[in-house]
Chain A
Amino acid sequence: MSGPSDYQPTNPVLKWIERRLPIFGLMHSSFVAYPTPRNLNYWWTFGAILSIMLGLQIVTGVILAMHYTPNADLAFKSVESIVRDVNYGWLLRNMHASGGSMFFFAVYVHMFRGLYYGSYKEPREVLWILGVIIYLLMMATGFMGYVLPWGQMSFWGATVITNLFSAIPYVGNSIVTLLWGGYSVGNPTLNRFFSLHYLLPFVIAGVVVLHVWALHVVGQNNPAGVEAKTEKDTVPFTPYATIKDGFGVSCFLLLYAWFIFYMPNYLGDSDNYIVANPGVTPPHIVPEWYYLPFYAILRSIPNKLAGVIAMFSAIIVLVFLPWLDTAKTRSSKYRPLAKQFFWIFVVVCVLLGYLGAQPPEGIYVIAARILTICYFVYFLILLPLLSRIEKPRPIPNSIADDVLAKYGSKSASIAIALALAGALFAGSAQNARAEEQETPPSQKWSFAGPFGKYDRGALQRGLKVYKEVCSNCHALSYIAFRNLADPGGPGYSTAQVAALASEYKIKDGPNDQGEMFDRPGRPADYFPSPFPNDQAARVANGGGLPPDLSLIAKARSYERGFPWFVIDLFSQFQEQGPNYVTALLEGYQKQPAGVTLAEGTYYNKYFPGHAIKMPQPLTNGQVTYDDGSPATLEQYAKDISTFLMWAAEPHMEARKQLGFVVFVCLILFAGLMYFTKKKVWADAH
């Protein structure tokens, strides 16, 4: 890599190595002496942020792979046991899952920055194309990673995305079979996706090395878009850029930590807490938020092959960007027209993302079509045209001149606002549930908010309700008796748990005679299921399968709608699950006139479609409480919802407590970094 390096190690050992492998000189010239334009703004710190994110994803991913089982029958359960049983497993899983979103968020900022400041223009074409390759690899990696938990969205996402290839004429179906390794998405698919998901990040890391190499050959672009000419235009990478990047990274980590500790499920889909079922497609298949704009383009075109081509073209067109935009002026700062159209393009992308999460019907399709046309017009018509007709403003003679001429930060603040909006269409994924459904009323929960804790009494009462009522039909198979004594749980002692466990008969064996036998439960055993298998459960319940309740509080959700999903991100609202469970238990009503119900179903105000197979399970006075709490349906519903929330998220208290500590530390650190950065840069100005 380039950069004037007069690095001469003085230590004899380093000298000895340096003569044989000049690695210290390479590091020194690349990351210490490397001249970096002195006018870079904070948008340039996203390169460093992306490197950190790639590193973190690889580290957490390698760790998760130590505990994950890539088998269609075991994958879902192994992810649950990571979250529930592995030391800090919940933390590592949240880091990895939110990390994917953060990685994409950062890469989008990085790409839009390149677009705005013309960083793809001569001589940086190869640098840009390498970036597009990294982006494509990221998309493939992210997609395959999302398949691994083997929930409903994993499975159907895999089915839908692999089926894209069936659009290829003649050989499409053969290619899809090849991708699957079977006649449908199944165990072989999961295995190869796991293998590739492990491999591709290292390929990305390799291409990143090329990307950085290319960057160091041609030098960084900068907000002024003029090349560095004299030494006055640049500052050495270390300490100037390193400290600035460090500050940028520490701020980004704050955003990241918000999701890890407080909103871990905000960016995910509740359907992915239901184990993959090849027989039932979720009502709305929605990809992760970072694919939504392309998904909208795919769906806006009524022809299968054309839709697939349009979707891939939307990405591939980026490769040709350096030759589509031939304007000599790089930075949009000096291009009045290009600047306006850039922001319109950003809005188009955000809106496409929003539409990608909406059901493909009515006005949404028409809007998506118009925006798809806008997307391609920007690249294929507008940019080439602007290059010819636009009259740019004069550019500064040098970077030093640019630094001296103070420029307004108006565009930056607009950019921040829009980037935020971009991040938020994440939440629009939750909009997808456009069922004709009553919204459950929001309850007051003790576990809501950044300092939320479970109400021990409610957990214990909820357990009683589960044992006496729900457990007749519903399993709770991810919960072991020992969990009832875990910190942050119902707060039983180990002796109480052992006594409770011994009330249950657990099937064990075979014994020396080769026979299965019943024995009293032990704390290590899991709650036994009421039925030996799904078929038996269906027969006993009029054809309906009572779902396992271990994850129900996270597997059920409802649409919050705009602007609530944006507000929820800041207010940390994530109690849709318990709200829904409570509403469902209280929502049994006489069917309204004119509504006919199928045989064996009951009318429930809050159940999607209103016809539920479960008869009203709880009524006033059904369960006797020992602690004097009212024996009312309202109280039962609240208690069982609290209990089920704990069952779904047993480490929530630890998560929020650690989150607080991390936030205090990160804010302190970001403050220190800010002042350090100011001190260091004081010399440069």
Chain B
Amino acid sequence: MTTASSADHPTRRDFLFVATGAFAAVGGVITLWPFISQMNPDASTIAAGAAIEVDLTPIAEGQDIKVFWRGKPIYISHRTKKQIEEARSVQVSSLPDPQADQARVKEGHDQWLVVIGICTHLGCIPIAHEGNYDGFFCPCHGSQYDSSGRIRQGPAPANLEVPPYQFVSDNKIQIG
């Protein structure tokens, strides 16, 4: 009836149909972009996710605080000598997610552990100072982290994430 022209003899009509169809298809796909892009964080959310500064002076040895950065809880632990020792005496290769404690803290500030307090299993918040490893215990599915925030036992696949941060002074860090 209409468009059945064989592939051996491409006609001007075929070209027109293909061009129009291609234009519509490409244009349609590109038009989708704003509809998808709008789901990404908006400008105010991004601006609110800027770096924060935290004063460490009030945190006594053996204590920890929880601060929020980008909506995520960040544990800042002032570790005791014992905790540091425990974290460093374990053989790294025996860990589920092998990583040395030194690689998880800033040199010269070994007593400060800064980790994102979100279980790497399914996103629950582990409780500090609980579990068998002097670290964190996640109540949701029983993952246990040690005093370096490394996974030791349970279903979580990876260590607690260390957020980007740096020491602005001995008693102040900037997260982000």
Q: Which residues of A are in contact with B by a Cβ distance under 8 Å?
A: 59, 63, 66-67, 81, 84-89, 91-92, 236, 239, 246, 480, 482, 486, 512, 522-524, 665, 668-669, 672-673, 675-676, 679-680, 683
Contacts and interface: CB of A to CB of B under 8 A. Distances in A.
B165 to A, nearest CB: 18
21 contacts: A63-B35, A63-B38, A66-B38, A67-B38, A84-B43, A86-B38, A86-B42, A88-B34, A88-B37, A92-B34, A92-B38, A239-B3, A523-B50, A524-B47, A668-B23, A669-B20, A669-B27, A672-B19, A675-B16, A679-B16, A680-B2
A675 B16 CA distance: 8
Contacts of B35: 59, 63, 88, 92
Contact of A524 (B3, B27, B39, B48): B48
A390 B37 CA distance: 60
Q: Which residue among B2, B19, B45 has the maximum number of chain A CB atoms within 10 Å of its CB? A: B2
Contacts of A672: 16, 19-20, 23
Nearest to B44: A85
Nearest to A525: B47
B58 interface: yes
A59 B34 CA distance: 12
Interface in B34-73: 34-35, 37-40, 42-45, 47-48, 50, 58
B92 interface: no
A640 B13 CA distance: 57
Contact of B40 (A87, A92, A668): A87
B50 A665 contact: no
Interface in B105-161: none
B42 A89 contact: yes
B2 A81 contact: no
A29 to B, nearest CB: 16
Contact of A673 (B3, B20, B44): B20
A523 B47 contact: yes
A50 B112 CA distance: 63
Nearest to B22: A672
Interface residues of B, number: 25
B23 A669 contact: yes
Interface in B74-114: none
Contacts of A673: 20
B168 interface: no
Given A85-B43, A88-B38, 18 more contacts: A59-B35, A63-B38, A81-B42, A81-B44, A86-B38, A87-B37, A87-B40, A88-B34, A88-B35, A88-B37, A524-B48, A524-B50, A665-B27, A672-B20, A675-B16, A679-B13, A679-B16, A679-B17
Contacts of A87: 34, 37-38, 40, 42
Q: Which 7 A-B pairs have the closest CB atoms?
A: A88-B34, A524-B47, A85-B42, A85-B43, A672-B20, A87-B37, A86-B42
A589 to B, nearest CB: 42
Contacts of A63: 35, 38
Contacts of B58: 512
Q: Which residue among A66, A523, A672 has the maximum number of chain B CB atoms within 10 Å of its CB? A: A672
A522 B50 contact: yes
Contact of B24 (A88, A89, A669): A669
B38 A676 contact: no
B1 interface: yes
Given A239-B2, A239-B3, A675-B16, A480 B42 contact: no
B94 to A, nearest CB: 40
Nearest to A678: B16
A472 to B, nearest CB: 26
Contact of B44 (A246, A524, A665, A679): A524
A63 B35 CA distance: 8
Given A239-B3, A673-B20, A679-B16, A482 B47 contact: yes
Interface of B: 1-3, 13, 16-17, 19-20, 23-24, 27, 34-35, 37-40, 42-45, 47-48, 50, 58
A676 B19 CA distance: 9
A667 to B, nearest CB: 12
Contacts of B39: 66
Given A85-B44, A524-B50, A91 B2 contact: no
Contact of B47 (A239, A480, A512): A480
Nearest to B49: A524
B13 to A, nearest CB: 5
Contacts of A665: 27
A523 B46 CA distance: 11
A35 to B, nearest CB: 13
Contacts of B45: 85
A455 to B, nearest CB: 23
Contacts of A680: 2-3
A675 B3 CA distance: 15
Contacts of B27: 665, 669
A222 B119 CA distance: 66
Q: Which residue among B38, B44, B48 has the maximum number of chain A CB atoms within 10 Å of its CB? A: B38
Contacts of A239: 2-3
A480 to B, nearest CB: 7
B56 to A, nearest CB: 13
A92 B58 CA distance: 48
Nearest to B13: A679
A522 B48 CA distance: 10
Contacts of B48: 524
Nearest to A64: B38
A198 to B, nearest CB: 17
Contact of A676 (B16, B37, B43, B44): B16
A523 to B, nearest CB: 6
B9 to A, nearest CB: 16
Contacts of A81: 42, 44
Contacts of B43: 84-86, 482, 486
A236 B3 CA distance: 13
A468 B59 CA distance: 43
A480 B44 contact: yes
A682 to B, nearest CB: 9
B143 to A, nearest CB: 31
Given A524-B50, A679-B13, A91 B44 contact: no
Contacts of B20: 669, 672-673, 675-676
A63 B34 CA distance: 10
Contact of B1 (A522, A679, A683): A683
Contacts of B13: 679
A489 B40 CA distance: 22
Nearest to B33: A88
Q: Which residue among A665, A673, A679 has the maximum number of chain B CB atoms within 10 Å of its CB? A: A679
Contacts of A236: 1
A254 to B, nearest CB: 13
Nearest to B19: A672
A490 B35 CA distance: 28
Contacts of A67: 38, 42
A584 B172 CA distance: 51
A520 to B, nearest CB: 12
Contacts of A66: 38-39
Contacts of B1: 236, 683
B44 to A, nearest CB: 5
Given A91-B34, A482-B43, A524-B47, A683 B2 contact: yes
A680 B4 CA distance: 12
Contacts of A59: 35
A668 B23 CA distance: 9
A402 B3 CA distance: 26
Contacts of B16: 672, 675-676, 679
